[in-house]
Amino acid sequence: MTRHTTRAAYGTGAVLLTSALALTGCGSGFSGDEGGSSSDGLTSSDKPLTVLIGSSGDAETAAVQSALDAWSKESGTEVSLQVASDLSQELSQGFAAGEPADLFYLSTDQIAGFASNGSLKAYGDELTNKDDFYPSLVENFTIDDTFYCAPKDFSTLALVINSTMWADAGLTDADLPKTWDDLAEVAKKLTTPEHVGLAFGAEYQRVGTFMAQAGGGLVKDGAAIADDDANVTALEYVKSHLVDGTFAFAKDVGAGWGGEALGKQSAAMVIEGNWITGAMQNDFSDVEYTVAELPEGPGGKGTLQFTNCWGMAADSPNQQAALDLVEYLTSADSQLAFSKAFGPMPSIKSAADEWTADNEALEPFLAGADYAQFPPNQNGASDVIADFNAQLESLKTADPAQILSSVQSNLEAVVK
Amino acid sequence: MSTQVSPRRVGAAGLRRGEAAAGWLFTAPVIVILGVFLLVPVLMALWVSVSDWAGRGSPLSGSVSFVGADNYSAVLADGGLATKDFGTALRNNAWYVLLVVPLQTALALFLAVLVNRAMLRGRGFFRTAYYFPSVTSSVAITVLWMFLFSASGAVNDVLSWFGLHGPNWFNDPRGILHLILGSESGPSALTQGGMLGISWWDWLSGPSVAMSAYILMAVFTTSGTFMLIFLAGLQNLGADVDEAAMVDGANGWQRFWRITLPQLRPTLFTVLTLGLIGCWQVFDQIYTGTQGAPSKTTLTPAFLSYQTAFKNQEWGQGAAIAFILFVIIVVFTLIQRWVLRDRPVSRRRIRAYQVTAKDGAA
């Protein structure tokens, strides 16, 4: 017995010793204590750059790669592209290990989390083309009055209509819905046993357009307004048409998202963003469609916009070069090339005219930029929205006011 | 213990001392590997779960501080979104365990008994066929399942032959028990109170339709593995006991329940333990499949832990969830061990035998 106990003691001791060694080994490997998110001073060295993106497909990867190659040739700094299969996880791993990619796609719902733990370099004010970005996009990436990163492009939501079904129902351009009543009316005309009038995802990222049109939203002037009467009106409107069968959630017509519902012809109209153009071209090229602005609600025009920025790591050893690369990637030429390759709109005002000239049919998307709301970017807001989305799935049978009051209490906890 | 000093101790200190050193030398690689890849990460995770580490740099650096049970209370007691999510995940997984473990064990045992029979033709074929789902990657099976159970998938097609209108499986958040009861809202006695931010009525919802599809998948994939374990157990049993029972006039059913099953108790314990642990840790199916949708009814603690840490940068809470899950698994295994413990023959049984003995004497 005693012998075993001694052995066990030795064993424990050995394991503890090993772990202590390993722990100290790990500890010295990290460089977690230094650095910060202050905007003064960029690091500079001749180290090569790494760019990490979450790509929508080959077209996007190829476009980014060719832009990086062009910049690399021009500047003489080596740069390599990594495509993440799970961007947020790979970012987290990079930050935890102290060796993140120098530049990366960063979404609005993640910026607050990474900014608060000091992973990000706030370089917005150093940009020479800073004033060219749309102010509403800059606001997306501004936390506590610090402009963190350059918006790389943006998309808005609009009404995408199947032209054939539209004509078959005897509708013309003059019938494009201007108000909620118009929308209900055309949706009713377009509903047949084979397809519904209007389909959209069961999520705030689509249903939120109605809240914006009603004059509501989730956050206004830094305060949670989820249980505002305008939002109740919006959800009541959506619910009533879900019930009468003229509107439907995409999943209820057997589609993963709006674009699929339009492509499979199970919906005559969908609410989707710029990215739908790529999907229609690749997967459903035989379906003709037109894009129109979303109708006005009781609170006027409203839509949602989505954007990503070029995040820069605080631990990057060559931030000066990274900044130069960002300026190159957000220039009008690069952004127009990206737009041609995979659909989003340039984030700078100076590229707007040329974009409209190239994409006349998609002009309603850009028009939305004037009045678009964006999803809240506070730390923890993505959780609240995920919970809201979970509740929206059963909107057809649920009480809108009750859903919104639970969203309000969750939102109040993160918006301070 | 100190009173039991054995005389062999002298030997251990003298003659055999070299052997101990050699023993340590030989086990050192494993100790180092387990230490670096298992013990150290676990200890670090334990530290993260009581710290405010935010995911940048080393958790052991000076800027990370101890926050006590804050992360645990955010998950268990706060009543906020984190608590509600954990409650939901726990509810989903509890139903999953409650249905998968008995079903897969029963099915595995049934299959094992079938393919164990000497009379069966093509035994090899059936053994392979039943085991096949277990060797296929769970990602592949999940993708297959998403297709089979889609709104216009094969399963709903087959159901329509019988005039049944199948649900939109992976998009249907309605709880099965709620569906059976046919009501969306429960009595106020159940909707008022609750635990972990989830009302009693919601705890009793049963698995959602989406979760049921996962339950079927788990039963389908794992019963093959457990069939193999049961098969090994069955082949270890001597035929003599069974024959003796046959001579005593026991029929097949009685022999299975009274002779075979009691002898399989150690195997049963293994299967139930592995089943319980596997079910509480379900992650890859959820990650490749629904990621917690619809309406969070396929959220599980393991997936929630990942999501909280990697997506929401709440590393402390993510680690805390992992440790709570660990405690749950240990507690369930202990309970199960206690239920399946070796018990002395009950008085009732003994009396039954005594009666026969007396009858024999008379």
Cα A56 from chain centroid (whole Å): 12
Q: What would the pLDDT profile of B173-231 be if each residue is shown by its tens digit?
A: 888 888 888 776 777 777 777 888 888 888 888 899 999 999 999 999 998 899 999 99
DSSP class of B51: B
Instruction: Name the residue among B229, B209, B223, B232 with its Cα closest to residue B278.
Output: B223
Q: List chain B residues with CB under 8 Å of A95.
A: 55-57
Strand-pairing partners, residue B102, are none
DSSP assignment string, B64-119: --B-TTHHHHHHHTS-SHHHHHHHHHHHHHHHHHHHHHHHHHHHHHHHHHHHH-TT
- Phi, psi angles (nearest 5°) of residue B171: -115, 10
List C-alpha distances in Å: B326 to A200, B34, B281, B303, B320: 40, 18, 9, 14, 10
Query: Do A74 and A109 form a contact (C-beta atoms < 8 A)?
Result: no
Helices B265-280 and B315-339: crossing angle, nearest 10°? 160
Probe site for chain A from B8, B25, B56, B84 (most A CB atoms < 10 A)? B56
Instruction: Name the residue among B162, B117, B171, B182 with its Cα closest to residue B290.
Output: B171
| pLDDT beyond 60 at B359 | no
Domain boundaries, chain A: 49-155+306-370, 157-304+374-414
Q: Do B312 and A382 touch (CB under 8 A)?
A: yes
Query: Do A27 and B58 form a contact (C-beta atoms < 8 A)?
Result: yes
Between CA A179 and CA A299 the distance in angstroms is 11
Residue type, B305: S
Q: Do B310 and A89 touch (CB under 8 A)?
A: yes
> Looking up tokens 């676990």, which residue turns up?
B42
> Looking up tokens 């979104």, which residue turns up?
B81
Q: List chain A residues with CB under 8 Å of B311.
A: 88-89, 110, 382
CB atoms within 10 A of CB A19: 20
Q: Do B310 and A92 touch (CB under 8 A)?
A: yes
Q: Do B1 and A5 touch (CB under 8 A)?
A: yes
What is the longest distance spanned by two Cα atoms in chain B? 86
> Looking up tokens 């990503």, which residue turns up?
A308
Q: What is the pLDDT of residue A42?
A: 83
Between CA B270 and CA B78 the distance in angstroms is 37
- Nearest chain A residue to B20 by CA: give it: A7
Q: What mean pLDDT value characterizes chain B?
A: 85
Q: What is the pLDDT of residue A180?
A: 92
Pairing of strands A247-249, A142-143: unpaired
Number of domains in chain B: 1
- Phi, psi angles (nearest 5°) of residue B212: -60, -35
Share of chain B above pLDDT 90, in %: 35
Q: What is the pLDDT of residue A237?
A: 93
Fold of A157-304+374-414: D-Maltodextrin-Binding Protein; domain 2 (3.40.190)
CATH class of A49-155+306-370: alpha beta
Query: Do A294 and A23 form a contact (C-beta atoms < 8 A)?
Result: no
Q: What is the pLDDT of residue B29?
A: 94
**CATH code of residue B174:** 1.10.3720.10
Domain assignment of residue B231, given as a range: 75-344
Q: Does B35 touch chain A (CB under 8 A)?
A: yes
Pairing of strands A49-53, A103-107: parallel
Query: Do A117 and A311 form a contact (C-beta atoms < 8 A)?
Result: no
Q: Do B310 and A252 touch (CB under 8 A)?
A: no
Residue A76 to chain B, least CA–CA distance (Å): 30
Return the H-helix or E-strand segment holding A267: strand A267-273
List C-alpha distances in Å: A384 to A108, A125, A212, B256: 14, 30, 18, 54
Answer yes or no: pTM beyond 0.95. Answer: no
- Nearest chain B residue to A406 by CA: give it: B81
Q: What is the pLDDT of residue B310?
A: 86
Q: What is the pLDDT of residue A88?
A: 86
Between CA B92 and CA B182 the distance in angstroms is 20
DSSP assignment string, A18-51: HHHHHHHHHHHH---SS--S-SS-----SPPEEE
Strand-pairing partners, residue B52, are none
Instruction: Name the residue among B109, B112, B141, B140 with its Cα closest to residue B127.
Output: B112
Cα B350 from chain centroid (whole Å): 35
Q: Which of residues 38-97 of A touch B (CB under 8 A)?
A: 88-89, 92, 95-96
In a domain, B203, yes or no: yes
Pairing of strands A196-200, A267-273: parallel
Helices B315-339 and B40-49: crossing angle, nearest 10°? 110
- Which ranges of chain B would DSSP assign to H, the alpha helix? 8-13, 17-34, 40-49, 70-76, 81-116, 123-135, 138-148, 154-161, 176-181, 188-192, 200-203, 209-236, 239-247, 252-254, 261-263, 265-280, 284-288, 301-306, 315-339, 347-361
Task: Report residue A347 as tokens.
Answer: 């984030």
Q: List chain A residues with CB under 8 Å of B2.
A: 2
Query: Do A42 and A123 form a contact (C-beta atoms < 8 A)?
Result: yes
Who among B61, B84, B312 is closest to A30 (CB)? B61
> Which pLDDT band holds residue B91 (cuts at 50, 70, 90)?
very high
Query: Do A79 and A71 form a contact (C-beta atoms < 8 A)?
Result: yes
Instruction: Name the residue among A307, A306, A275, A272 with its Cα closest to residue A292.
Output: A272
In a domain, B8, yes or no: no
Instruction: Name the residue among A298, A306, A305, A262 with its Cα closest to residue A183.
Output: A298
- Phi, psi angles (nearest 5°) of residue A17: -60, -45
Q: Do B81 and A29 touch (CB under 8 A)?
A: no
Instruction: Name the residue among A34, A135, A59, A106 with its Cα closest to residue A341.
Output: A59
Query: Do B292 and B286 form a contact (C-beta atoms < 8 A)?
Result: yes
In a domain, B47, yes or no: no
Instruction: Name the residue among B254, B259, B307, B262 with its Cα closest to residue B85.
Output: B307
Query: Do A136 and A305 form a contact (C-beta atoms < 8 A)?
Result: yes
In a domain, B325, yes or no: yes
**CB within 8 A of B204, min separation 6: which ones?**
B177, B186, B190
Q: Do A393 and B5 touch (CB under 8 A)?
A: no
Out of A249-258, B6-15, B32-41, give the one with best mean pLDDT: B32-41
Strand-pairing partners, residue A160, are A270, A291
Question: Quick check: do A49-155+306-370 and A157-304+374-414 share a fold?
Answer: yes
Task: Report residue A73 as tokens.
Answer: 């040739």
**Blockwise average pLDDT, block size 10, chain A, 416 residues:** 51 50 42 42 85 85 91 91 89 88 90 86 89 87 89 91 91 89 91 91 92 90 87 92 91 86 91 86 87 91 91 90 91 89 87 87 87 85 86 87 88 80
Q: Do B171 and A251 touch (CB under 8 A)?
A: yes
Who among A27, A387, A394 is closest to B173 (CB)? A394
Size of interface A-B (CB pairs under 8 A): 133
Instruction: Name the residue among A310, A309, A314, A326 with its Cα closest to residue A42.
Output: A314
List C-alpha distances in Å: A320 to A38, A78, A311, B211, B249: 15, 13, 14, 50, 89
Q: What would the pLDDT profile of B287-338 be if each residue is shown by its tens digit?
A: 998 888 788 889 999 999 998 888 888 899 999 999 999 999 999 999 988 8
Q: What is the pLDDT of residue A29?
A: 39
Query: Do B47 and B60 form a contact (C-beta atoms < 8 A)?
Result: yes
